[in-house]
Structure 1
Amino acid sequence: MCCLPSQSRTSAVAVRAARRSTTQNALAEVALLDAYAARDVLNHDIAGSRLTSEQSEKLGAVLTASGLGAGTLPPAHMQALTQAVDKAEAALRGLL
């Protein structure tokens, strides 16, 4: 860029900034569809630091709703879940 006129350099910088903004927005929008992606974007040094407060809040809400990072299930809930999965597996096997 050493040989570009000042206006061309300014235009090139503006184009790069627009692409970065578009990429950032697309990344945040896609992460809204996947809690693991939301967690990764929020925890990423660069991507997370460039999120708007609205994007951070939305991704945080996705993460909270998913239960990721909430810890383990209490034993009674784990047992109920295991029983439900076992029952569903048996039902599916019966359909084969």
Structure 2
Amino acid sequence: MLRTALARTAVQIRAASSIPEGIRDIKPKYTKLFINNEWVDAVSKKTYDTFNPADNSLIAEVAEGDKPDVDKAVKVKPLCILFFDFCPVILKRSQEK
């Protein structure tokens, strides 16, 4: 009951807001997994829904990574080390230890 009341209040506040409508409904550009410098679907093809907490509308369906996806990403790590300048900062820092 409280959650519903808060959601309604949030919708009313946003409706009265000076933020243009186009800015309110921004959808995420990337909803896939980023592996080997590519946006790819999960191996299992599973997704999970992401909802706007203000009005419970669906924002996006995001790829749900699991073990096969992690294994796929880990296999790419040696290639990433060859091209060290293109690696994420996290990988660079892990090599400093």
Given the two structures, how large is their TM-score scaled by the length of structure 2?
Answer: 0.33
Which protein has the bigger helix share? 1
Q: Choose 1 or 2 for highest CA Rg.
A: 1
Which protein has the bigger strand share? 2
